[in-house]
Amino acid sequence: MIRIEITKASTPFIIGTHYNNGNIFTIGKKSSSSLIDPECTGIILTVSNDKLYVENKKAGIFYKVNGKKISGKKNIDAGSKIEFSSISFEILEFRYDHIDHLTDIDNLYKKRIQETPMLEEIFSLIEQDFIHLEKLKYDEK
């Protein structure tokens, strides 16, 4: 989870607090960015092993962390202030999410069942429907 406060941007609509529950937060002009600023060339925040990193993927383009000019990847802390391209923001907080929602399906399943036990019955019914559909498909051949 990464939470930031945008203090300056080319568009006033994104000024304020933003967060991403994943371990990656991107800011840029691409539609795939977590936060879109049409004049920002692209910066990535990543949480890995309880450390937060900021990185500009384009070589030779600098950004500032707490007023210091940086290029490449840098380890930063909560409270750090980043200035890059048309945007300025502060890191409010971050936390490494030990469950990777894309690859750790077993632990995610167990966590969701613990949170909502009723889901186990629903998942079981869905699984039975899939088995039935697979059997129908197999019998057609």
Top-tier CATH class for 2-94: mainly beta
Beta strands, E only, 2-114: 2-8, 16-20, 24-28, 35-36, 43-48, 51-55, 63-65, 68-70, 73-76, 81-84, 87-94
User: What residue spans define the domains of the chain?
Assistant: 2-94, 105-140
Supply the pLDDT for residue 86: 85
Q: pLDDT tens across 46-104, in order?
A: 998 889 999 987 777 889 999 999 888 899 999 999 998 889 999 999 988 665 555 56
Supply the pLDDT for residue 101: 56
Supply the pLDDT for residue 98: 61
pTM of the model: 0.66
Mean pLDDT over 17-31 rounds to 88
Supply the pLDDT for residue 21: 83
Which structure tokens are listed for 75?
Answer: 């380890």
